[in-house]
């Protein structure tokens, strides 16, 4: 842990926060922020502007820092929370709602009311800025989720409350830098391009990005759609058709003011982009690894029983559909001939943690699983072989060497 407690790691978290502050979910927060700071009309001094900006940023920091503390204290992984169907549905519904609002298909009167009364929240001034800052984190969380999950996982893996708090605090300061700059230099808003037809393209892109995030979150429940997109060698043609459809429907939607066409266009654009980057394993391939290459057992107790009968150790691969490193293991490490050959000396089990059920919770608690991917090496009685656990991605050669150590470890 000492090697991780470095200024470099904290600066990395700060830089990641700056990067994620430029994601689509943050755009709706900008006018609210300007309303809070009065867009320069209520701030008669730089000192007050700095105070309002700092209060807003520290409100954001409170939200993310508390998440870091909770993750480090409990070892909980935010990603597993995102695997719950109810949570995924709620986040996707929120993203779709924001996309409809961005496309001007629906109107949300409360947004303008919030902007008009933002300075009065909590009595106005610094307290109001702080309260609005605490609310800004959850609003932006769906878009910054992938990066946020990474840092929450690092905090959870450390099981160090101080480090978890520092890591997420640095991340939140980077995330809030944009708002602080707006508070300090409200005149920058005057340099923005004048409103025009070009804004429709911006709104369309933002809406498509929101829908893209919704598709990413809902990926485990939309396998059939992605299988259809990748169902044959002509999937690039399908992507091209989606892009052309997106352009045509978007132009018709904005040109004729038939607004539902805008949603069709944004959804087609999001599907096209997602089909280019989101690869869903084919059901006949057992992930990226052919079924006949590795004999996976999907039941924990059955794997232990077989290990006891054969006198072999057990390798338990814990994975989830939302886990990018898990898919990288499937694509690069497990198919490697050296790895497959050595895995024959073990009983191999593969447990899906995408949707956490009672069995997954029990295994997670028993072995204190913090993040995914996690690969456990167990004795037939279920006890973990000391110092053999793998967390994160390993290249084939490194994993092969690790398997040698596991097989040579006295049991």
Closest CA to 145 of 56, 77, 70: 77
Confidence at residue 278, expressed as pLDDT on a 0 to 100 scale: 57
**Cβ-based neighbours of 367, under 8 Å, separated by 6 or more:** 376, 384
* 3-class SS of residue 391: strand
The residue count of the chain comes to 411
Helix, strand or coil for residue 319? strand
pLDDT for 310: 93
Strand ranges of the sheet holding 390-391, from the earlier edge strand across to the other edge: 347-352, 314-319, 374-378, 390-391
Tens of pLDDT, residue by residue over 263-279, are 999 998 988 887 666 55
Sign of the CA dihedral running 115, 119, 122, 125: positive
pLDDT at 134: 75
Show the tokens assigned to 210: 């929101």
Residue 173 — left, alpha, or beta (φ > 0 → left; ψ -120 to 50 → alpha)? alpha
pLDDT along the chain (411 residues), means of 10: 58 81 61 57 62 80 81 57 65 81 75 49 63 66 59 66 84 83 68 61 77 75 66 70 88 84 90 68 43 79 94 92 76 89 94 82 86 89 92 88 90 68
Q: 347-352 and 374-378: which strand pairing?
A: unpaired
Cα gap 33→180, rounded to integer Å = 10
- CA 374 to CA 122: how far, in whole Å? 44
Which pLDDT score, from 0 to 100, does residue 119 have?
44
Burial 315-343 (b: 16+ CB within 10 A, else e): bbbbbbbbbebbbbbbebbbbbeebbebb
Instruction: Judge contact between 367 and 336, C-beta under 8 A.
Output: no
Question: Which pLDDT tens digit goes with each residue over 388-405?
Answer: 999 878 889 999 999 999
Angstrom distances, CA of residue 202 to CA of 20, 286, 369: 18, 40, 42
- Whole-number mean pLDDT of the chain? 75
Residue 34: its pLDDT value, please? 62
Token digits of residue 348: 């191999």
SS3 390: strand
pLDDT at 115: 45
Helix (H, G, I), strand (E, B) or coil at 1: coil
């Amino acid at each position: 842990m000492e090697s991780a407690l470095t200024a470099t790691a904290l600066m990395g978290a700060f830089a990641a926060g700056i990067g994620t502050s430029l994601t689509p979910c943050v755009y709706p927060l900008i006018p609210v922020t300007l309303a809070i700071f009065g867009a320069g009309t209520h701030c008669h001094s730089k000192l007050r502007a700095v105070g309002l900006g700092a209060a807003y940023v520290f409100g954001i920091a409170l939200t993310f820092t508390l998440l870091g503390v909770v993750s480090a204290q409990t070892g909980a992984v935010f990603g597993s929370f995102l695997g719950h169907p109810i949570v995924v549905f709620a986040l996707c519904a929120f993203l779709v709602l924001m996309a409809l609002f961005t496309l001007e298909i629906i109107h949300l009167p409360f947004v303008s009311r919030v902007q008009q009364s933002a300075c009065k929240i909590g009595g106005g001034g610094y307290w109001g800025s702080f309260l609005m800052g605490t609310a800004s984190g959850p609003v932006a969380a769906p878009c910054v989720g992938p990066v946020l999950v990474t840092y929450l996982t690092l905090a959870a893996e450390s099981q160090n409350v101080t480090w978890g708090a520092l890591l997420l605090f640095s991340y939140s300061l980077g995330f809030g830098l944009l708002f602080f700059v707006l508070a300090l230099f409200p005149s920058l808003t005057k340099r923005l391009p004048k409103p025009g037809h070009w804004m429709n393209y911006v709104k369309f892109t933002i809406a498509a990005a929101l829908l893209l995030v919704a598709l990413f979150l809902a990926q485990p429940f939309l396998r059939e759609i992605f299988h259809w997109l990748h169902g044959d060698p002509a999937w690039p043609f399908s992507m091209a058709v989606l892009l052309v459809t997106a352009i045509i429907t978007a132009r018709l939607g904005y040109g004729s003011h038939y607004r539902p066409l805008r949603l069709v266009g944004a959804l087609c654009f999001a599907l096209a982009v997602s089909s280019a980057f989101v690869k869903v394993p084919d059901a006949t391939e057992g992930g990226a690894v052919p079924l006949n290459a590795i004999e996976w057992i999907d039941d924990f107790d059955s794997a232990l029983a077989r290990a006891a009968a054969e006198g072999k150790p057990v390798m338990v691969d814990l994975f989830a559909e939302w886990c990018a490193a898990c898919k990288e293991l499937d694509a690069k490490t497990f198919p490697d001939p050296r790895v497959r050959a050595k895995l024959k000396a073990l009983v191999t089990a593969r447990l899906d943690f995408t949707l956490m059920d009672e069995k997954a919770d029990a295994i997670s608690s028993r072995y204190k699983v913090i993040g995914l991917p996690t690969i456990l090496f167990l004795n037939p009685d279920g006890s973990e072989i000391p110092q053999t656990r793998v967390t994160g991605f390993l290249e084939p050669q490194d994993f092969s060497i690790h398997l040698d150590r596991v097989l040579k470890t006295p049991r």
